[in-house]
Amino acid sequence: MQIFEIFRSLQGETTRAGLPMWFVRLAGCDLACTYCDTAPARDVSAGCAMTVPEVVHAVSAPPIPWVAITGGEPLLQADEVNALIAALADGGRQVMIETSGAYPIDRLDPRAVRIVDVKTPGSGMAGRMWWPNLDLLTLRDELKFVLTGRDDYDWARTVVERHRLADRVAVLFSPASPGLPPRTLAEWILADALPVRLNLQLHKLLGMR
């Protein structure tokens, strides 16, 4: 599998923000979001090729319980990713997958927690969203919207309400950076009493990767 980088950090987002994790960032993404903060990882030839056993060994010490697989787009290497999930889960590790939402998530080993990004109009990639994914989400999964401004917020609020997403899954609203001030997004959420979680990038606030 093509690996861009492997590193340790605190999980900066999701409902598990603050937890120490190993991060396995895969190379290759065929989307071009306006706010992408890992553009070098979009190159499918970036990084280096590693086998699943090599990746498992790389995250073996210290044996942090959680491993996050991100990208790039992990589902472009679905077979290898599933083999990695299986190897980590069989070894007693907990795994989360961060995916763009452009590909069907039912291809993933169900032992992984799936963090699915809904591409908003402001991302420039809304046309790539695989909408049937919303019906595949479970209580273990999470749904993330990265918002560039008020238009994105209103669009995302409509999606959440129309599909009754907050009744089925944790919904995360993230302000694009730079662009939407976090406090402004927080005020909108409060004004609408929207049942979503403000999702900030804790690792960046701490000056960590």
Q: How far apart are CA 196 and CA 84, in angstroms?
A: 31
Domain architecture of the chain: domains with CATH: 2-205 (3.20.20.70)
Mean pLDDT of all residues in 42-49? 96
* Tokens at 72, concatenated: 């790039």
Q: Please report the pLDDT score of residue 203 as a whole number.
A: 86
Q: Please report the pLDDT score of residue 195 as a whole number.
A: 97
Mean pLDDT of all residues in 168-185? 95
User: Quick one: three-class SS letters along the chain?
Assistant: CEEEEEEEEECCCCCCCCCEEEEEEECCCCCCCCCCCCHHHHCCCCCEECCHHHHHHHCCCCCCCEEEEECCCHHHHHHHHHHHHHHHHHCCCEEEEEECCCCCHHHCCCCCEEEEEECCHHHCCHHHCCHHHHHHCCCCCEEEEEECCHHHHHHHHHHHHHCCHHHCCEEEEEECCCCCCHHHHHHHHHHHCCCCEECCCHHHHCCCC
What percentage of the chain has pLDDT greater than the value 90? Answer: 94
pLDDT surpassing 90 at residue 209: no
| Average pLDDT over the chain, rounded to an integer | 96
* Angle between helix 182-192 and helix 150-162 axes, rounded to 10 deg: 40
- Between 101-105, 140-144, 178-182, the lowest mean confidence (pLDDT) is in 178-182
